[in-house]
Structure 1
Amino acid sequence: MDKVEKFYDETYDEWDRLERHKIEFDITKRYMDEYIRGENLSIFDIGGGPGRYSIYLAEKGHKVSLLDLSKRNIQVAKEKSAERGITLEAYGNQRTLFIYWEKMI
């Protein structure tokens, strides 16, 4: 595990950070709504962390695949999407994107 993975797996809590700093989440959602148009799109959220934005897009009807280098973030994304009854494909490290490519397209 490299230093960045270790930081996100053991120290950082992105899900709670976006809860505490809700304005960032709300502004980002506004821009996503403005620029991500269409219905039932296939979206790759590369570096998607614990899936807050991925879940938001999946709730809007898009098919979302999330990649993140943190195993902890992947687990949180799977748990949070399941709690909401959302289908979210969550995979591992984006540095190995080629392994997941066929599954996602």
Structure 2
Amino acid sequence: MIPVSIRRCYSLDENTSDIVLGESRVSIEGGIVKKNGDVITLTAKELTLFSILYRNRGRIVTTDMLCEELWPDGSFGLENSLIVHMCHLREKIEKDPSKPIFLKTVRGLGYKMEKI
């Protein structure tokens, strides 16, 4: 089920409820990315990370906020884990993960999903 906040705030592909980012189509309901004919499964953390950034499209989401949402128990080493999850998410969504168009790093602050 697509979270109400996403359905209410952003337009999705009306036929499939996929979120289209360039060549990638992200299905929040299915937890998958369709890219260049391939179907790629998102992990639970990647899906949560994507959902948070999508809900806050065009705005910076701080590293602290993302870590609190992804790991509410407050485990150690969260920033490094966040970097790894973001790297994997970019590999699955971006055409060139080394030069992201949609999932941007804002140095010293956090991340943001560009409004397209």
TM (norm. structure 1) is 0.31
Higher helix share: 1
Higher strand share: 2
TM (norm. structure 2) is 0.29
